[in-house]
Structure 1
Amino acid sequence: MDILRWLIDAFNAHIDFGNGQTLVVREVVGNIFGLASALGGMRRKVWAWPVGIIGNALLLTVFLGSILDPASTLPHLLGQAGRQVMFIAVSIYGWVRWRQTKGQTGEAVEPRWASWPTRIGLAVVMVAGTAALTPLFRELGSYDPVWADAWTFVGSLLATYGMARGWTEFWLIWVAVDIVGVPLLFSAGYYASGLMYLFYGFFTLVGFFVWWRRSRQTASTIQV
């Protein structure tokens, strides 16, 4: 029973900053796993996917807010919570795909540009998906502005799928997600995730240029 109580206390551990401001410890840990996964993705390593799944599972419990933690004063962001479930599902797909294409160097995929029809399709899904999910998330009681929650959900789905496919543009989709998601997280009181995603915004730009350079090298090799 002591071990069980310790596990429960560890799961619900908070850092109190006073004035009613608290930070959920597992939110910090989940984002650390997410950062490690992003670094692995930039280097095109298969281990990025299972590491990311661990982080997603932790953050899922955080964004459900008071649903899982009665003592929590944070609102539940259904789009943020739902996208952790989506992350896990798409990450399993990416994990399998990258394992199948893994080369002897350990780099699992060759970055390439998506076709223009694919780019247009991604843009259409981004806008249409946000419009379709906004009223649903509102009915379920997600935090305002609800469209921002829906935007981050749809964008995260497209970015994760693009990473699995090896499209260089997936980094730019993450930038679009962060531009909307960071203010949303701060306004809802999820400060650890907000700070982490603010850092992600810069990190994704670095990742984009790394993959862009690699895609140019690959294209030059094919032409030769």
Structure 2
Amino acid sequence: MNESLAVLGFSTTPLELISFVLAATTVLLNIRQNHWAWLFSIASSSTYAVVFFDARLYGDSGLQLVFIAASVWGWWQWLRGTQETKLVVTRLCRVGWAWVLAGWGAAFLVLSWFLRTYTNTDVPHIDGFLTAGSLAGQLLLARKKVENWHVWLVVDVLYVGLYIFKDLHVTALLYAVFVVLAWRGLRTWSKLARVAP
């Protein structure tokens, strides 16, 4: 699955292509609030963990394992809601935003230090920043907060550059598509949040 092949002039692997399709399907289903998105998230996280490890993006590789656990939790949240009531799309309050940003910052500091100290990655700071942001986005998505799409817009734009730098061109293309899908998700969920009880 790791033998190199050319697609649209880019060098890639079959595993990266499979990961691409699974991840794109995940986001399309998330926009529609379809709970099967979480199954595709588990599958794409499993395959991308290998792709990122091979590219020495250890933060992203480890993040995929966290995404698998978060996807199980997210799936449960979307099916069960809170106290047996269906989870609806809502917005964060200012205090909620402050907690998200503080958590992102703290996780960035810890992850970038760990990656710089204990791995041979050549991009510890951006890997740590984007890994921390992805965790924040995933948690907000699991709780159906509109602001998850704001986080994904920032993270996905920066990931495009990182993946180009790491010669993961097909994944860079995927994240460029994610930017467009995150914008669509933001618009769709913003309309839903206005009418949500």
TM-score by length of 2: 0.91
State the SS of the aligned residue for 2:188.
helix
Unaligned runs of 5+ in 2: none
Partner of 1:121: 99
Partner of 2:170: 192
Between Structure 1 and Structure 2, how many residues are aligned? 193
Contact 1:143–1:188 at 8 Å: present in 2 too? no
Partner of 1:44: 33
Contact 2:163–2:172 at 8 Å: present in 1 too? yes
Among 38, 57, 80, the alignment partner of 1:100 is 80
TM-score by length of 1: 0.81
Instruction: Give the Cα–Cα distance (whole angstroms) in 1 for the partners of residues 94 and 166 of structure 2.
Output: 37
Among 4, 12, 21, the alignment partner of 2:2 is 12
Among 146, 151, 155, the alignment partner of 2:124 is 146
Q: Summarize the alignment of residues 1-224 of structure 1 with structure 2, pairs less than 5 Å apart.
A: 11-16=1-6, 22-65=11-54, 75-101=55-81, 109-218=87-196, 222=197
Percent of aligned pairs sharing the same letter: 22
Contact 2:22–2:40 at 8 Å: present in 1 too? yes
Letter in 2 for 1:55: S
Query: Using CA pairs below 8 Å that are at least 6 residues apart, which structure has the higher relative contact order?
Result: 2
**Deviating 4+ runs (over 3 angstroms):** none
Structure exhibiting the larger radius of gyration computed from Cα positions:
1
Contact 2:11–2:169 at 8 Å: present in 1 too? no
Instruction: Give the Cα–Cα distance (whole angstroms) in 2 for the partners of residues 162 and 184 of structure 1.
Output: 23
More deviation in 137-146 or 117-126?
Answer: 137-146
Instruction: Give the Cα–Cα distance (whole angstroms) in 1 for the partners of residues 19 and 170 of structure 2.
Output: 10
1:142: how far off?
4.7
* Deviation per residue, 1:54-107 (Å, 9 max, x gap): 011011111111xxxxxxxxx3100110111111010010011111139xxxxx
Give me the CA root mean square deviation.
1.9
Instruction: Give the Cα–Cα distance (whole angstroms) in 2 for the partners of residues 48 and 109 of structure 1.
Output: 15
Instruction: Give the Cα–Cα distance (whole angstroms) in 1 for the partners of residues 118 and 190 of structure 2.
Output: 40
Instruction: Give the Cα–Cα distance (whole angstroms) in 2 for the partners of residues 116 and 41 of structure 1.
Output: 24
